[in-house]
Structure formats: structure tokens, C-alpha cells
Amino acid sequence: MAAALSSKASIAQAVACGTPARRQARFAVVRVNALAQKAEYIWYDGQEGQAVKGAVFNEMRSKTKVLQKPITSMNPAEFPEWSFDGSSTGQAEGKNSDCILRPVYVCPDPIRGGDNVLVMCDVLDAEHVPHETNSRAKLEAIINDKVKEEAPLFGFEQEYTMLAKGGHIYGWPAGGYPAPQGPFYCGVGFESVYGRPLAEAHLDACVKAGLIISGINAEVMPGQWEFQIGPTGPLETGDQVMIARWLLHRLGEEFGIISTFAPKPMKGDWNGTGAHTNYSTKSMREDGGMKAIEAAIERLSKCHPEHISQYGTGNEERLTGKHETCDINTFRFGVADRGSSIRIPLPVQLAGKGYLEDRRPAANVDPYTVVRLLIKNTLL
């Protein structure tokens, strides 16, 4: 680090600026900057954007804060709040445009390396009230002692589709289609799998960032992939999914690949893109937990419309009853049934305990919102 900063270029730059006194000052600045660490402040805007292949509800945003001291802690409370121009992200009016970024989760920055960090933030308005787009605060508000006692865990299967610049699905023949679906899910080989270098780089980055990522796989539609975050607690799930989404977009800059979370990027006989959310409580994980799983499903069956209304933009194009989904207006559950709304995995049925899988959320769902609805409608 020191060697790099006292390189010939920096010294030449310092020497080039004027009188001996100013030269001295300039050197001092160069030395102080040797301590500087970069913190990438990340947030989501809650704006419908990304015109490419349909809307994505949460657009990731970030900017870099240079901290003039070494970073010695990953405690978000030790990072300063910051602000941004909310009028440029659809979060404020131009006349009163400042929004506050409050650090909530900090991890190593796997791209910059060194002691640099990523800082996930939630958004407050100028009066320090959670912004209306701040779904994290809404989740935090319902976590009471009863919820904590049940120690809910989530496994979030984040599917996404890779696009080339211009919106063409990555790896698909120009102006045409690949072979029909069949060989692509968990596939291997040059003719079946498109975009693995980005998926691998993303997995590496998530691991280096210390995220709890449990795997990746190529999906049913070629050019479509999945990574899984979890099992993680409620807030952690949202924070880590958001950082993983940001990393995917950021690495896409290097690979020249756009990742979209649009629920149905390709009309017709092609699978949509979802975010199955696996969910368990302490009662479900204990012996005889099937009873708690069934009770949770019974309660979920009564608030299907509420979930559907918040499970992603454009999800109606995906939940058709075909392509491993249940029709959007129907609530059905079943063991090992991939055409259900809620699936009980076969190993869970055999063990009589474990977790359930909510198959309804679209890939562009807000993870804090799925987690909040599952907790609210099964535990509270």
C-alpha cells in the first residue's frame, strides 16, 4: 500500500505543484491519503426502473465514501451516516431533496479488497424518519420477543437472467432461439451453459464478502441462473440479498453482462424468474415440526392476495400455472410439488420437521417484504 502510494507518479504530481511550502503541504496530503479506506455505501431506491426486459422494483444504488482512517470494525454503528440526492433516485422532491443513508450492515469489499468495505444502508428522510421505500424498517418494527423466541430462518433462492448489452439474452443466437428447455437446468457444457464466468465470479465475491451463500446453479432457461442466500435471520436475509444483488450488477460491469430480476424476461415456453423463499421457525425445526409447518400453511392460505400483491412487479406474467408455478389466483400446497404455491420438500416430509418453501415471490421481490409478510402472517 505505502509503496504504491509513494510511487513515482504520486511524487511527481506532488512536486509539480508550486512553492516549497505548498509542495510540503501536498506531500502531507499524499501521506494522509495512505490511511484512507474506501467504504461503498449501498442502498435500494424502491423505484421502478431498468427498462431492459421489464421493470425491476429495487434498483441498487451506491457511492463511495473515503474514510480518512483505518477501518478496524465491521460494526455499522461505527460508520457515519451520509446523505444523497433523493430527487435523482425517485425518493424525494427537488426542493427538499436530501435523504439520509444509515449504515445497517458492513462486510469486506471483495472487489476492492484490502481493508475496504461494503456498507449496506437504509434510507431515512431529512427528519430521520424511515423513508416510505424503507422496507427494512417495516420489517424491523415487527420483530418482537415472540418472533425472536421462534428464531425464524430464511433461505432465499435468487434467480436472475443474464442479458447482453441491448437486452438480448446472454448466449442466445442473434435473432433466434436456443434449443427448447431441457438440458439447461444444472447443465454443463458449452452448448448448454451461458455466462458461467460471471456466476462463478459472483459466488467468489459473495464468499469473500462473508455472505452466507449456500450455492449456485444454472437454471431451466439458458442464460438464467440462481444463487441462494441463507439460512439467515430476518434482517440479515434482506441485507445479504441486497449486497449480493449489488455485487452481481457491479461484476456485470467487468463482464459486460446485465443481470435482470424481471419475472418473465422471455414470453412463451420459457421459465420465468423467481425467488423461492424457504422459511422455518424453531417449532418447525424441532421433532414433530410438521404440525407447525401445517399450521403456518393453513394461516398463509388465508392471506394469499396480500402476499401476491407484494411479491414482485409483473409476477402475473410468471405465475401462470405452467413452468413450475401455481396460477396466481390459486393457493395450493403439496409435498415435492413444484406446481404448488407452498412446497414441503420431500426430505422435510420424511423427517417430519424442517421448513416450507414459498414459491410465489418473483425474482424482483423486495426480500425484506417477503420476510416481513411470512413472519407477520404465521407468527404474529
- List contacts with ligand ADP (CB under 6 A): 153-155, 157, 214, 228, 230-231, 276, 278-280, 285, 354-355, 357
Closest to ligand ADP by CB, 124 vs 296, is: 296
Q: Is the distance from CB of 143 to CB of 375 less than 8 angstroms? A: yes
Closest to ligand ADP by CB, 158 vs 315, is: 158
Q: State how far the Cα of 364 lies from the Cα of 189, in Å rounded to an integer.
A: 28
Provide the residue type at 133 as one letter.
Answer: T
Q: 43: which 3 cell numbers?
A: 442502498
Q: State how far the Cα of 218 lies from the Cα of 227, in Å rounded to an integer.
A: 9
Backbone angles phi, psi at 83, to 5 degrees: -135, 165
314 contact, one of ligand ADP, Mn ion, none, CB 5-8 Å limit per kind: none
Contact code string over 186-225 relative to Mn ion, x by CB under 5 A: ----------------------------------------
Closest to ligand ADP by CB, 46 vs 155, is: 155
Which of 109, 122, 150, 226 lies at the binding interface for Mn ion (CB under 5 A)? 226
153 contact, one of ligand ADP, Mn ion, none, CB 5-8 Å limit per kind: ligand ADP
Which of 102, 249, 276, 285 lies at the binding interface for Mn ion (CB under 5 A)? 276
239 contact, one of Mn ion, ligand ADP, none, CB 5-8 Å limit per kind: none
Q: In this chain, which residue has its C-beta nearest to Mn ion? A: 276
In angstroms, the Cα distances linking 6 to 10, 71, 114 are 6, 21, 18
List residues bridging with 37 in a β-sheet: 67
Which of 157, 236, 239, 358 lies at the binding interface for Mn ion (CB under 5 A)? 157
* Residue ranges in the chain assigned as alpha helix (H): 2-5, 8-15, 20-33, 135-142, 145-150, 196-208, 234-255, 282-285, 290-301, 304-309, 346-351, 367-379
CB of 234 to ligand ADP, least distance (A): 11
154 contact, one of ligand ADP, Mn ion, none, CB 5-8 Å limit per kind: ligand ADP
In angstroms, the Cα distances linking 121 to 118, 306, 369 are 10, 27, 16
Cis peptide before 345 (omega within 30 of 0): no
355 contact, one of Mn ion, ligand ADP, none, CB 5-8 Å limit per kind: ligand ADP
Task: Name the residues that contact Mn ion, by CB under 5 A.
Answer: 157, 226, 276
